[in-house]
Structure 1
Amino acid sequence: MLGYLFPGQGTVRVGMGAWLRRRPVARDRLDEIDAMLSRPISPLCARGPLDRLVSTEHAQVAVTACNLAALAVLTEEGYEPAIVAGHSVGELTALHAAGVLTLAATVRLVETRSRLMAAAGRGEGQAVRGGMRAVMGLPVERVEELAEAAAAPGEPAVVALENAPGHVVVSGALPALDRLERLAADATKIVPLKVGDAYHSPLMAAAVPAWAAAVAVAEMREPRVPVVPNVSGEPTTDPGTLRRALVAQLTGRVRWTRTVGAVDAVAPGVEVGDSKVLAGLSRRAGARCLSLADPATLRRLAREVAA
């Protein structure tokens, strides 16, 4: 048994997907996805430029394409998940892996999500510019206190990502984030993230109505295996709960530490994509996780299954 963990937007880089294209089943899946998109993503993944690839409208599509291709590799190898979860936009691939969304619906939704969030990040319907900063070395409770102290009317600051113990990301208005950085003298380090806006915060509210409408009309089937939504960190097989969680996630917190714990309680995890980020975060949380981007992982999985 395996728990599938699908990475999110922060894992993109020029050259992503190169190892996947060496596998015919993954190459075919990437070509299939390119044909579904309004503009193929594979050339941008392969050659960049980086500033275009990391932009929200491209990054979310790029990471989803690689996640889906990596999933095709595992399926060809005969593996099936016992439980699934995805970090932020990775949750869409998790829903596909669980049988909730078709491939076409997954690609359509990720294109819609990326477009709406990019529009919000450019300030369309938004009065203040936002960003995100990783706060290292502090418990989430302390970061919540700092965010509350740094926030002001019209300038929110909230915990957006509980990535791992001592690795918390705050999202909000740039002036509030500057105040938080001055207040957080007890943090080991504070790192600004290279993102377009304050994702998983109230500043994404402008994107919610259209996103909710897109999710409402998407066909969602009952999952074959439990899915752990970001906003709850609790496994569920209820389609209505999954639909509501997908909408709430846009402005809600990614409770990744809790999510990883829920997956690890069922089965060891495998990061399914072209990234090793989630494997690292899992280890920080004391959970088991390999990365499919590590060439040794498939061989190791085969040995463990044989044993």
Structure 2
Amino acid sequence: MPLHVFLGDFFSNFLNLDTIFIRTIPVFITKPGALTLAFNEGRRKSFIQPIKLYLLMSLFYFFVFALVIPQNMLDKTLMGTAGSFNIGMDGRLAEIRKELADDEQVAFDSLVNKGALDAIQKIWPEVSDSLSAERTDWKELKFLAIDPSVSDEEFQQAYAKSRFYFDLDFSISKIRGFIANSNVFINGVARNLPIMMFFILPFFALILQLLYIRRDYYYVEHLIHGLHLHAFAYFIYGLAICWTFIDDYYAMQVFGWSFIIVTLYAYFSLKKVYAQPWFKTLLKFLFLGLIYVFFLLLGFILEIYVTLLLF
């Protein structure tokens, strides 16, 4: 093949793909269900294939997730629980004050002045330590798991006293290895998450087929719909993670709004594709969400279990 023919075909395919992408994204974002209808009606060459769009958005999401979420997130989260007893001190004093009468509040304020509060705050960590002396926190548990001089029997005693104890069907050496290398384990879970989500998709399509069993739809049409819905969820949640990387002050609000956007998009997509009344669509949407969450939790638990087995 001459070079100019090869280059001509390459740039032709590249520009065609670029044009299809530009045509697909606005419809994908702003018109829930429109892409699914287009593919079900046979207009497949005008837009990106559903599986390609799904893979593109899932790659975007999991790339951002791996880039932004710290590798030691589990350790930071679990170590933070050790200080929760101390953090609630001011809130507890405020609750006590509310329960007092007006004249009692004056006496309470005179006793619990700034100097007294400072003294309490200095003493409180020692009190907290003495109260939790019988419970092993995550940081100490991790040090014990790493320390080769600590036997498995000694580690098991410390683990049994910790607030993180679960009666798992694993050997103590396996549990110890998980705690010592928890960050590596979390990375393994994150790495297997796209595979787990991909295996859940056929179940999602099956639920749709059962919900709309009286309608004249093939299973693959429900699968296409599922690919589009999951691709949109990856896109929105990926943007939310990017936002928290820039400014994490409103992280909870951002993820809350992201969930609302994805939920509304899925509802309007069901309404558009299956063209049923609003209330009937709402009932099926709620049932779909309930069953899907069950499969999602089941899949996540199985993924963690398998990852722990192979760890």
* Same fold (TM > 0.5): no
Q: Of the two, which has the highest radius of gyration?
A: 2
TM-score (ref. length: structure 2): 0.23
- What's the TM-score once normalised by structure 1's chain length? 0.23
Judging by fraction of residues, say which structure has more helix. 2
In terms of fraction of residues, the more strand-rich structure is 1
